[in-house]
Every structure is written in structure tokens, then in C-alpha cells.
């Protein structure tokens, strides 16, 4: 069973506490419901932060069955970094960082 490091816990906490930009709440970009992807990433992060272990998510992570592992979603986040909105940039960076952490555990 994987144990989340203190640094990863801090990243999850910052991600969870970060304000959601309006474009994420209301827009579908590249045929993706960004809020749906965010909610799944938020729920996974929140549950992992509370439990400190991956447990329930181990199989989903290893099988890459979670929405946020979608390459199109990650590409969309990278595209959104080009927008001139600091809150959106922070949100996208945090999402990508959390996904990177989760991908690390999905490969173990």
C-alpha cells in the first residue's frame, strides 16, 4: 500500500483549497466537461489526503480508469495555461501537479 509523503499531502491540500476558475465551472473545451474532470480529481485528492493511503484508488490508478488520466484533459490544461488569467494558470498547474503525483503511484 502506498503512503503519501508530507510534500504530496501539502500539494493535495493546496489543490483542494484552491478557488475554481469560472471557465472550469461552466465551459466545455475540446469536448471535455472540465468540471467533471476536476470533480473526480478533487474527490480522489480529498480521499487520499484524508486517509493518507491510496487503498480504494489503487486499482483505478493502476488501470488508468480515472477521467483525469485522459491525455486530452492534460493537453487542455496545458492549452489553458496560455490564457491571461493568473487564477486559471494556478489552477491548471495544480491540476497537472496532482495528476503527476497520481501517475507516479499508478505505475507502482
Q: What is the pLDDT of residue 62?
A: 59
Residue 1 lies in a domain: no
CA atoms within 13 A on the CB side of 9: 10
Residue 25 lies in a domain: yes
Residue 72 lies in a domain: yes
Exposure of 10 by Cβ count < 10 A (0-12 exposed, 13-18 middle, 19+ buried)? exposed
| Radius of gyration, alpha carbons of the chain | 13
Number of domains, the chain: 1
Q: Which domain holds residue 74?
A: 6-106
Cα separation, 65 vs 81, in Å, equals: 25
Cα separation, 96 vs 19, in Å, equals: 15
Q: How does pLDDT run across 27-53, given as a tens digit for each residue?
A: 888 888 999 989 988 988 887 787 755
Residue 78 lies in a domain: yes
Q: How does pLDDT run across 88-108, given as a tens digit for each residue?
A: 999 999 999 999 988 887 765
Amino acid at each position: 500500500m502506498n503512503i503519501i509523503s508530507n510534500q504530496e499531502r501539502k500539494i493535495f491540500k493546496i489543490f483542494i483549497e484552491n478557488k475554481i476558475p469560472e471557465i472550469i465551472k461552466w465551459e466545455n473545451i475540446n469536448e471535455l466537461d472540465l468540471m467533471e474532470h476536476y470533480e473526480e480529481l478533487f474527490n480522489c485528492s480529498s480521499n487520499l489526503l484524508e486517509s493518507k493511503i491510496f487503498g480504494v484508488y489503487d486499482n483505478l490508478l493502476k488501470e488508468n480508469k480515472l477521467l483525469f488520466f485522459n491525455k486530452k484533459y492534460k493537453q487542455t490544461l496545458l492549452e489553458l495555461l496560455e490564457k491571461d488569467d493568473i487564477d486559471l494558470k494556478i489552477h491548471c498547474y495544480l491540476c497537472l501537479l496532482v495528476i503527476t503525483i497520481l501517475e507516479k503511484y499508478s505505475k507502482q
